């Protein structure tokens, strides 16, 4: 019986020993699998942040990149200002007689007008001094009769040539005076005519108002020449003599315009601040064009000295997230990387890059928003990008 018990104990010890023995084959396989996962993770880490956008899709979306090259960049003073009509471009229309003013319902600010067009009619009936149109017509008709009679008499030498010339001059003067204030010939009052082609920028009276001779009625502008006036802080006073050019953007435009592209030039810069403003005015004049409205506020970039070997990118290359700025660097035909950058000065068209990219990098300059959208939808898989 003891022998049987000893055999049973021996068998149990042998079984336990076999179960606790190390499994060399399985251990090697597990270790190899762990190594592979580690390598896989490392590779994925190396490619993290890279964005896949096939070349065909990029081209269809208008994505375009260019190689960064250091070059000249103009120092800039960024400020604000406004666009106004240049002196002589706006003409004030005044009343030629006293009376009650009227104008058509279609007459309003912004309407186009032509040289010689009747803008206002002034009726003086019932006034103490009488109707000036009626008086002018009587004077004109009287002078015309005398002129016609004198023409016949001068041929018979009954009237001297000198006397005839005096009668002729009086007739022409009366004719001009009558035509200047006559309306459409229907006796509806004195006509106030437009002095030039343009548009009505201001209407200064209401229909039915009483007006006096010489009182301003409206302002007509042609917008042929405009002023761009920048309000510059006095701390930049020392830089003003170096300013020669300006870029500007109006509130209702996305495009940045340059004064030089409209035949513009610097007119003057102030030597002191104004009584009602702490700013120094810097004024440019340029040719007006459709879409630029006098009175508009403008963002202005005043350009002065030039620095060489500056890295800059078009403003369109920049994207912004929570106050930080980024560009997208093209790594190969189908692959991009989101790159944070530190910005320097900007002239509204290009922006200086202080850090983040270097000369030789290819940066997306058009369609950056499409690359940004691609980065939000899919990251490039590991092992697919060849460095």
pLDDT in tens, 74-112: 889 999 999 998 888 888 999 988 888 999 888 888 898
Question: Cα–Cα distances in Å, from 23 out to 18, 37, 89?
Answer: 10, 22, 98
Give the residue with greater pLDDT, 281 vs 156.
281
For residue 43, the model assigns a pLDDT of: 39
For residue 127, the model assigns a pLDDT of: 64
Q: Two tokens at 331?
A: 């790594």
For residue 3, the model assigns a pLDDT of: 43
Residue 29 pLDDT > 90? no
pLDDT tens per residue, range 232-246: 998 888 889 999 899
Cα 181 to Cα 118: distance, rounded to the nearest angstrom: 10
Give the residue with greater pLDDT, 291 vs 31.
291
> How big is the CA angle at 44 (ends 41 and 45), to the nearest 5 degrees?
85
Give the residue with greater pLDDT, 37 vs 265.
265
Percent of the chain past pLDDT 70, that is, above it, reads 81
Percent of the chain past pLDDT 90, that is, above it, reads 39
Q: Two tokens at 66?
A: 């260019």
Question: Helical H runs in the chain?
Answer: 2-20, 24-46, 55-60, 132-155, 161-181, 368-377
pLDDT tens per residue, range 120-172: 988 877 666 666 777 777 888 888 888 888 888 877 778 788 888 888 898 88
* pLDDT band per the 50, 70, 90 thresholds, residue 33: very low
Cα 9 to Cα 326: distance, rounded to the nearest angstrom: 75
Least trusted range by pLDDT, from 43-52, 111-120, 168-177, 200-209: 43-52
Give the side-chain half-sphere CA count within 13 A for 100: 9
For residue 298, the model assigns a pLDDT of: 96
The per-residue pLDDT of the chain, averaged, comes to: 81
* pLDDT band per the 50, 70, 90 thresholds, residue 230: very high
Across-strand partners of 28?
Answer: none
Least trusted range by pLDDT, from 7-11, 144-148, 246-250, 281-285: 7-11
Q: Are 190 and 130 in contact (CB under 8 A)?
A: no
3-state helix, strand, coil in the chain (%, to 5): 30, 35, 35
Q: Two tokens at 84?
A: 């106004």
Residue 342 pLDDT > 90? yes
Which domains can be identified in the chain, with CATH numbers? 50-70+311-377 (2.40.420.20), 77-86+224-309 (2.40.30.170), 104-196 (1.10.287.470)
Give the residue with greater pLDDT, 16 vs 248.
248
* pLDDT band per the 50, 70, 90 thresholds, residue 387: very low
Across-strand partners of 307?
Answer: 73
> How big is the CA angle at 304 (ends 299 and 310), to the nearest 5 degrees?
95
For residue 186, the model assigns a pLDDT of: 52
Residue 217 pLDDT > 90? yes
Q: Two tokens at 15?
A: 């079984």
Across-strand partners of 284?
Answer: 228, 266
For residue 126, the model assigns a pLDDT of: 64
Q: With the CA atoms of 298, 303, 308 and 314 taken in that order, what torsion angle do they form, in degrees rounded to the nearest 10?
A: 10
Compute how many other C-beta atoms are within 10 angstroms of the C-beta atom of residue 159: 17
176: helix, strand or coil: helix
Residue 34 pLDDT > 60? no
Kindly give, in sequence order, each residue whose CB lies less than 8 Å from that of residue 38, ignoring residues fewer than 6 positions away.
none
Residue written as token pair 């149109």: 133
């Amino acid at each position: 019986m003891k022998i049987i018990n000893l055999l049973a104990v021996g068998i149990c010890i042998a079984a336990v020993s076999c179960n606790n023995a190390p499994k060399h084959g399985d251990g090697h396989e597990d270790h190899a699998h762990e190594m592979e996962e580690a390598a896989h993770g490392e590779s994925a880490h190396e490619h993290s942040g890279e964005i896949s956008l096939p070349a065909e899709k990029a081209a269809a979306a208008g994505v375009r990149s260019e190689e960064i090259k250091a070059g000249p960049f103009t120092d800039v003073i960024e400020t604000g200002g406004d666009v106004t009509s240049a002196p002589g471009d706006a003409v004030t229309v005044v009343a030629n007689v006293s009376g009650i003013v009227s104008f058509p319902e279609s007459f309003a600010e912004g309407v186009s007008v032509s040289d010689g067009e009747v803008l206002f009619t002034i009726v003086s009936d019932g006034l103490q001094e009488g109707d000036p149109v009626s008086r002018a017509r009587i004077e004109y008709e009287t002078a015309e009769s005398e002129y016609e009679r004198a023409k016949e008499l001068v041929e018979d030498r009954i009237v001297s040539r000198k006397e005839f010339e005096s009668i002729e001059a009086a007739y022409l003067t009366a004719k001009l005076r009558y035509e200047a204030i006559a309306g459409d010939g229907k006796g509806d009052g004195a006509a106030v005519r437009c002095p030039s082609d343009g548009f009505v920028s201001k209407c200064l009276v209401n229909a039915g108002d009483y007006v006096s001779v010489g009182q301003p009625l409206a302002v007509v502008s042609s917008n042929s020449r405009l002023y761009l006036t920048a309000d510059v802080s006095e701390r930049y006073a020392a830089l003003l003599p170096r300013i020669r050019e300006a870029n500007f953007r109006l509130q209702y435009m996305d495009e940045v315009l340059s004064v030089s592209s409209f035949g513009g030039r610097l007119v003057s810069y102030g030597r002191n601040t104004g009584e009602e403003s702490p700013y120094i005015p810097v004024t440019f004049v340029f040719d007006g064009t459709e879409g630029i409205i006098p009175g508009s506020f403008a963002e202005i970039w005043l350009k002065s000295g030039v620095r060489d070997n500056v890295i800059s990118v078009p403003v369109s290359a920049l994207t912004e997230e929570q106050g930080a700025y980024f560009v997208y660097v093209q790594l190969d035909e189908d692959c991009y990387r989101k790159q944070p950058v530190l910005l320097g000065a900007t002239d509204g068209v290009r922006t200086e890059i202080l850090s983040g990219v270097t000369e030789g990098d290819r940066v997306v300059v058009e369609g950056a928003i499409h690359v940004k959208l691609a980065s939000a939808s899919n990251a490039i898989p590991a092992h697919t990008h060849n460095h």
